[in-house]
A and B are shown apart, each in its own frame.
Chain A
Amino acid sequence: MASAVRPAPAELAEQVAAEQRRRGLLRGPATRIGGLWLLLALVVVAAGLSVAVGTRAVDLGTVWHALTDSSATGDDVVVIRELRVPRTVLGILVGLSLGVAGALMQGHTRNPLGDPGLLGVAAGASAAVVGAIFLLGITTPSGYVWFAFLGALLGSVAVFLIGSSGRGGATPVSLALAGAALSALLYALIRTVLITDQQTLDSFRFWVVGSLAGRDSAVAWQVLPFVVVGLVLAMVNAPALNLLGMGEDVARGLGQHVLLARVTGITAITLLTGAATAACGPIGFVGLVVPHIARAITGPDHRWLVPYSGLLGVVLLLVADVVGRVVVRPGELQVGIVLALVGAPFFIALVRRRRLVAL
């Protein structure tokens, strides 16, 4: 056993100062747990908004009535129970999935551009949906779910196999490159179909924007098991990500099974983004933005980063969905569009203002 080399005192002080800069806004377990409770409260507020606000004006009394009194009837009650509550539930699931998957993805690739879409998930799902529309004539969102999920699964498995088959194994760079290459290939095939067949384009263009609208409550139940398993795997994976962040060799030296951690992480990312994409179409911005915000709050410790990212994802998605319902009444702006329009300036402001917390 080699003994660790002790740094000189001046060097040590410098390291401590650098470490403190990296730690983020909230330090210490107590404040961070407090922060989680605050976020949970924000989630409740956002969910409340999502149920109460919409194209059809429903007063708060009726909303409360519809939620608590099972004997309530009327058009408003139907709107709340059949449309807004399932939509909100779906929003929570999808936001949670995308936020957590984004944190894992950036942790595994150690790339600030590590969007879950990079693993070929969105491209795989899109290709499968185009295939379903073009070959089988399926045109409803709930009809797409299994195809999208299967496509997402195949896409990310293919990327992982290709990325890890080189001599260096599954390095972050090779994974990201494999994902980019496979995505480009799949999008080329998708474009081929879209150019030659207008009817497919007509259905596909409404799926690909990413929306929570028009999904019945069955969709949430269909994707729920995958989300739950994905979240559990993500929490299991979080401590390992902290070790992997120091480099694979160090992680191995500290007793971490690197391949096991990678496989767990990729599985969780696949399940979560696959479920989210299957439910609403590709929604890009959450997985990219949220981990950066979370990292600014908690610093790089993934045991905190993962839950914070999940809850922030929910808040972001629900608020964006509500905004989309309000801004262009009586129509609606799809949540994917709103996220880009609202999320991007926020993201850019964050990138500009803060010293970016290093990965």
Chain B
Amino acid sequence: MTSTITTRGPGVRTDRRRTVRVGPFSGVVRTRQLLLPVVALVVLVLVSAVSLGRGDYPIGLGDVLRTLVGLGDPTQQFIVTELRAPRIVVGVLVGLALGLSGALIQTFARNPLASPDTLGINAGASAAAVGVIVLGGGSGAAAGLLGGLGLPLAALLGGLLVALLIFALAWRGGVDGYRLVLVGVGLSAVGFALVDWLLTRSDITEAAAATVWLTGSLNARTWDQAWPLGLALAVLLPVALALSRQLGVLQFGDDTARALGVRVGATQAVVVLVSVALAAAAVAAAGPVQFVALVVPQVAVRLAGGSRPPLLASALLGAVLVVGADLLARTVLPVALPVGIVTAVVGAPYLLWLLVRGRRSITA
């Protein structure tokens, strides 16, 4: 797929890669790319378990694990599975969806700044949700709507509608990554202008409620939010992973990919649709938890090596970031802040550090 020898920096140093030959087949084993998802999965399980134990009624790690396999006492069973688990599960699913969505869209657009945020999904969902909060009646009604189904559904529809519009507007006998991103930026500007305008028109308490939603939060999430997102992931994750090889070939450019037997137009359409659906489902569940989709693929590609964000590792690292950030927000900080703030405060310096220390620039 990629060349087996790369040169780095001044003075030629070849990258020694292990090759495996089985009969007529041979391939390169990239240890870091194989190890990263495993490590991320282990970390994710640990962080989730710790998070399940923490709260007003602390439960030890061992008890948590025992409860999860159905051996805990009834009180702990209730607290873990009914009160805390939905929040953690929504966090994991949102992280998976956002990380994967970001990796797909960055690979497709070949632009590290492309993410569902720049593609207008967050803008559309935000405009719809803030519209519901601000125009949906007084502050009491808004507070009621926040917990109900009205808001997630509005956000989902808003996000999908804008994404669809972007896709339709960018379509000219095929989708060009460059054109798609530009159209997305244009429509995002409209969405966020509407949000800003609605905020200036609204009552201050509604504006405050809208600000919390706009930050992305896991507060008061139940199984109602987890199921739709889980279903979406169950369908879309395998599709995305199945596309991995074609995505790798697309990196060489449309013409080369076509010559190598990839159906460029169809692949691109599927990639974009999968990415958009994942992001919209995540936003509907937790609000726009910004920065996960942007930063996680970039972190993953730097950790794993290679020329593009690895899909599975990006998804898992996204989940680690969201759940870990939520854990931090609930336990370490004096004020209970929405998870969206912590993902940015934790993720941004990490990206900055990687940039400062960075061994090379990544273009995809």
- Chain A residues with CB under 8 Å of chain B are 111-113, 115, 118, 162-163, 165-168, 171, 173-174, 176-178, 180-182, 184-185, 187-189, 191-192, 194-196, 198, 201-202, 205-206, 208-209, 284-285, 288, 333-334, 336-337, 339-341, 343-345, 347-348, 351-352, 356
- Once the chains are docked, how many angstroms separate the CA of A139 from the CA of B9? 52
Residues of B within 8 A of A208 (CB): 196
| 16 A-B pairs with C-beta separation under 8 A | A118-B113, A168-B360, A176-B113, A177-B298, A181-B347, A181-B348, A184-B291, A188-B342, A191-B215, A191-B340, A201-B207, A201-B208, A208-B196, A288-B189, A334-B200, A339-B193
Q: Which residue of B lies closest to A285 (CB)?
A: B189
B233 contacts partner chain A, Cβ-Cβ < 8 Å: no
Are A165 and B344 interface neighbours, CB within 8 A?
no
Residues of B within 8 A of A198 (CB): 204-205, 208
Are B181 and A188 interface neighbours, CB within 8 A?
no
Task: Return A79 CB to nearest CB of chain B, in Å.
Answer: 23
Q: A181-B295, A334-B197 are in contact. Are A192 and B362 (CB under 8 A)?
A: no
Residues of A within 8 A of B212 (CB): 195
Q: A185-B348, A187-B344, A348-B187 are in contact. Are A336 and B196 (CB under 8 A)?
A: yes
Q: Which residue of A lies closest to B172 (CB)?
A: A352
Residues of B within 8 A of A112 (CB): 178, 181-182
Residues of B within 8 A of A171 (CB): 361
Q: Mark B184-198, 1 if CB is under 8 A from A, else 0.
A: 011101101110110
Residues of A within 8 A of B360 (CB): 167-168
Task: Return A105 CB to nearest CB of chain B, in Å.
Answer: 13
Q: A165-B356, A173-B363 are in contact. Are A340 and B189 (CB under 8 A)?
A: yes
- Once the chains are docked, how many angstroms separate the CA of A315 from the CA of B352? 38
- Once the chains are docked, how many angstroms separate the CA of A333 from the CA of B194? 11
* Other-chain contact of A185, B187, B214, B337, B349 (Cβ < 8 Å): B349
Q: Chain B's interface: helix, strand, loop or mixed, by majority?
A: helix
Residues of A within 8 A of B9 (CB): 167
Are B341 and A188 interface neighbours, CB within 8 A?
yes
B330 contacts partner chain A, Cβ-Cβ < 8 Å: no
* Other-chain contact of B294, A118, A180, A194 (Cβ < 8 Å): A180
Task: Return A262 CB to nearest CB of chain B, in Å.
Answer: 15
Q: A113-B181, A184-B290 are in contact. Are A178 and B355 (CB under 8 A)?
A: yes
Q: Chain A's interface: helix, strand, loop or mixed, by majority?
A: helix
Residues of B within 8 A of A205 (CB): 196, 199-200, 207
Are A176 and B294 interface neighbours, CB within 8 A?
no
- Chain B residues with CB under 8 Å of chain A are 9, 111-113, 118, 169-170, 172, 178-179, 181-183, 185-187, 189-190, 192-194, 196-197, 199-200, 204-205, 207-208, 211-212, 214-215, 290-291, 294-295, 298, 335, 337-338, 340-342, 344-345, 347-349, 351-352, 355-363
Q: Which residue of B lies closest to A159 (CB)?
A: B352
Q: Which residue of B lies closest to A188 (CB)?
A: B344
Are B358 and A166 interface neighbours, CB within 8 A?
yes
Residues of B within 8 A of A339 (CB): 193
Are B337 and A341 interface neighbours, CB within 8 A?
no
Residues of A within 8 A of B340 (CB): 188, 191
Task: Return B8 CB to nearest CB of chain A, in Å.
Answer: 10
- Once the chains are docked, how many angstroms separate the CA of A206 from the CA of B204? 12
Residues of B within 8 A of A284 (CB): 189
Residues of B within 8 A of A111 (CB): 111, 113
Residues of B within 8 A of A351 (CB): 170, 179, 182-183, 186
- Once the chains are docked, how many angstroms separate the CA of A334 from the CA of B335? 34
Residues of B within 8 A of A181 (CB): 295, 347-349, 351-352, 355
Are A182 and B352 interface neighbours, CB within 8 A?
yes
Are A344 and B200 interface neighbours, CB within 8 A?
no
Q: Contacts A115-B185, A177-B355, A209-B196 given; 19 further ones with Cβ under 8 A?
A: A111-B113, A112-B181, A166-B357, A167-B358, A173-B112, A174-B358, A177-B113, A177-B351, A181-B295, A181-B348, A184-B294, A194-B211, A195-B211, A205-B196, A333-B197, A334-B197, A336-B193, A344-B189, A356-B182
**Which of B118, B200, B212 is the most central at the interface, judged by chain A CB atoms within 10 Å of its CB?**
B200
Are B179 and A356 interface neighbours, CB within 8 A?
yes
* Other-chain contact of A113, B111, B169, B345, B355 (Cβ < 8 Å): B111
- Once the chains are docked, how many angstroms separate the CA of A334 from the CA of B342? 32
Task: Return B190 CB to nearest CB of chain A, in Å.
Answer: 5
Residues of B within 8 A of A187 (CB): 290, 344
**Which of B182, B194, B214, B338 is the most central at the interface, judged by chain A CB atoms within 10 Å of its CB?**
B182
Are B215 and A195 interface neighbours, CB within 8 A?
yes
Are B190 and A192 interface neighbours, CB within 8 A?
no
Task: Return B98 CB to nearest CB of chain A, in Å.
Answer: 14
Task: Return A101 CB to nearest CB of chain B, in Å.
Answer: 17
Are A180 and B193 interface neighbours, CB within 8 A?
no
Residues of B within 8 A of A288 (CB): 185, 189
Q: 6 shortest A-B CB distances, which residue pairs? A: A340-B193, A188-B344, A185-B348, A166-B358, A344-B186, A181-B351
* Other-chain contact of A209, B170, B197, B338, B358 (Cβ < 8 Å): B197
Are B348 and A168 interface neighbours, CB within 8 A?
no
Task: Return B265 CB to nearest CB of chain A, in Å.
Answer: 17
Are A168 and B361 interface neighbours, CB within 8 A?
yes
Are B183 and A113 interface neighbours, CB within 8 A?
no
- Once the chains are docked, how many angstroms separate the CA of A209 from the CA of B192? 10
Task: Return B124 CB to nearest CB of chain A, in Å.
Answer: 13
Are B185 and A113 interface neighbours, CB within 8 A?
yes
Residues of A within 8 A of B355 (CB): 162-163, 165-166, 174, 177-178, 181
Q: A163-B355, A176-B112, A177-B351 are in contact. Are A348 and B197 (CB under 8 A)?
A: no
Residues of A within 8 A of B169 (CB): 348, 352
Are B211 and A184 interface neighbours, CB within 8 A?
no
Task: Return A3 CB to nearest CB of chain B, in Å.
Answer: 26
Residues of A within 8 A of B341 (CB): 188, 191-192, 195
Q: A205-B196, A344-B190 are in contact. Are A182 and B348 (CB under 8 A)?
A: yes
Residues of B within 8 A of A209 (CB): 193, 196-197, 200
Q: A113-B185, A196-B335, A344-B190 are in contact. Are A174 and B208 (CB under 8 A)?
A: no
Are B356 and A162 interface neighbours, CB within 8 A?
yes
Residues of A within 8 A of B187 (CB): 344, 348
- Once the chains are docked, how many angstroms separate the CA of A351 from the CA of B187? 12
Q: A174-B355, A177-B351, A196-B335 are in contact. Are A341 and B190 (CB under 8 A)?
A: yes
